[in-house]
Amino acid sequence: MSPNPALGVVFHWLGGLASGSFYVPYRAVKRWSWETYWLAGGVFSWIVVPWLMASLMTNQLLTVLHQTPTGALFWAYFFGILWGFGGLTFGLTMRYLGMSLGMAMVLGYCAAFGTIIPPVFHGEFFSRVLPSLSGRVIVFGIAVCMVGIACAGKAGMSKEREMSEKEKKSVIGEFSLRKGILVATFSGVMSACFAFGLDAGAPIRALTLRCGTSTLWQGLPILVVVLLGGFTTNFVWCVLLNIRNRTGREYFTATASGPEPAPMLRNYLFCALAGTTWYFQFFFYTMGETQMGRYKFSSWTLHMASIIIFSSLWGIGLHEWRGASRRTWLWLFVSLFVLVASTVIVGYGNYLGTLTRQ
């Protein structure tokens, strides 16, 4: 199947929609601590759904993983562990900054590191990307994306200055700008390790293709390994919090969190929905990556831009921008316009790359 960058952009938009939406079901979880519902949803995100989809959509999954060189498995898993630190602190970012500002800051760092480092590491950025017109268009699109992220951050900062403490707390119960910035910086840098894990898993991709897996699904076995690393980090941290906060009983009994019983079935269903939705961001990401041609590293920028677009729209729908001035709304809409434009530019650059190869 020949690369189709336009289709790839659509897949990345779908992935961004999934990522920008996954935290919404968690809002329906009642009388559970953060560590409990984060781990309950994470079991679906990092274990159940990745194995299920890879088993259904690819050939000889266990054989492929068994034949993969140990080094490739280790680095994919290791980068997954590092990414796990970004993932668990990402949840804390949402608590302190809300969906709009939190995602803008985290994904700004993540986009910069996750997009540029892999081609630089392989010695391709200066030797193959920059010398070509298509490569320069893609780099320009990446720069436009960073401008859009900066505009989104500017909108968030403007909103924070305009809102009273009471208004902040009514929308984001634990709002804290100082804590949020520190956590978002760490989370963004660590989250970029997911891109490194996908890159390290290239031998897995080659093996599954040799086993007859469709090109469109070639990235799913890699997700199994990388997400297992992420699960390891999050599992250890959440269990430690369960022990420290004495919240472990919340998984098993409805009366552990207060006088009113926790809606156990409801909570598990919404956690499962959140976790499954989260996984589908990378399900569509791996599909989009197969369509981007020779410059597939640009997929990371498309993914980040799409996440911010849809998370910002969710932030609007959930009234996180209530009380903001016209100036703040202008910054927000400028950021959305610039981010959409960046995805078009990057997609066009990849289209030029397919013409050059032909």
Q: For residues 181 and 301, what is the distance between their CA atoms, to the nearest angstrom?
A: 21
pLDDT at position 72: 94
pLDDT at position 116: 76
Using pLDDT thresholds of 50, 70 and 90, give the confidence band for residue 101.
low
pLDDT at position 168: 57
Rounded to whole angstroms, what are the CA distances from 86 to 91, 139, 148, 352? 9, 25, 22, 34
pLDDT at position 317: 79
Q: For residues 21 and 309, what is the distance between their CA atoms, to the nearest angstrom?
A: 11
Using pLDDT thresholds of 50, 70 and 90, give the confidence band for residue 148.
confident
Tokens of 279: 């996984």
Q: For residues 272 and 265, what is the distance between their CA atoms, to the nearest angstrom?
A: 10
- Mean pLDDT computed over every residue of the chain: 84
Rounded to whole angstroms, what are the CA distances from 42 to 186, 227, 236, 239? 20, 10, 12, 12
The answer to whether the beta carbons of residues 295 and 11 sit under 8 Å apart is no
Q: For residues 278 and 287, what is the distance between their CA atoms, to the nearest angstrom?
A: 15
Looking at per-residue pLDDT, the higher value among 200 and 135 belongs to: 200
DSSP secondary structure code for residue 31 in this structure:
S
DSSP secondary structure code for residue 261 in this structure:
P
Whether the CA torsion 290, 291, 295, 300 is positive or negative: it is negative
Using pLDDT thresholds of 50, 70 and 90, give the confidence band for residue 316.
confident
Least confident of 61-65, 116-120, 282-286: 116-120
Using pLDDT thresholds of 50, 70 and 90, give the confidence band for residue 135.
confident
At 162-176, the pLDDT tens digits run: 766 665 555 555 666
**pLDDT over threshold 90, residue 239:** yes
At 186-226, the pLDDT tens digits run: 888 888 888 889 889 999 999 999 999 999 999 999 999 99
DSSP secondary structure code for residue 6 in this structure:
H
User: Nearest-5° angle of CA 39, CA 42, CA 46?
Assistant: 140
Q: For residues 106 and 54, what is the distance between their CA atoms, to the nearest angstrom?
A: 28
Q: For residues 316 and 354, what is the distance between their CA atoms, to the nearest angstrom?
A: 37
The answer to whether the beta carbons of residues 310 and 21 sit under 8 Å apart is yes
At 244-294, the pLDDT tens digits run: 999 988 998 876 445 678 888 999 999 999 999 999 999 999 998 888 777
Q: For residues 118 and 231, what is the distance between their CA atoms, to the nearest angstrom?
A: 23
| CB neighbour class for 51 (10 Å; exposed up to 12, middle 13-18, buried from 19) | middle
Contacts of 281 (CB under 8 A, 6+ apart): 15, 16, 18, 19, 22, 303, 307
The b/e string for 184-222 (b: 16+ C-beta within 10 A; e otherwise) is bbbbbbbbbbbbbbbbbbebbbebbbeeebeeebbbbbb
Q: For residues 287 and 198, what is the distance between their CA atoms, to the nearest angstrom?
A: 13
For residue 3, the Cα-to-chain-centroid distance in whole angstroms is 23
Q: How much is the pTM?
A: 0.80
SS (H, E, C) 96-158: HHCHHHHHHHHHHHHHHHHHHHHHHHCCCHHHHHCCCHHHHHHHHHHHHHHHHHHHHHHHHHH
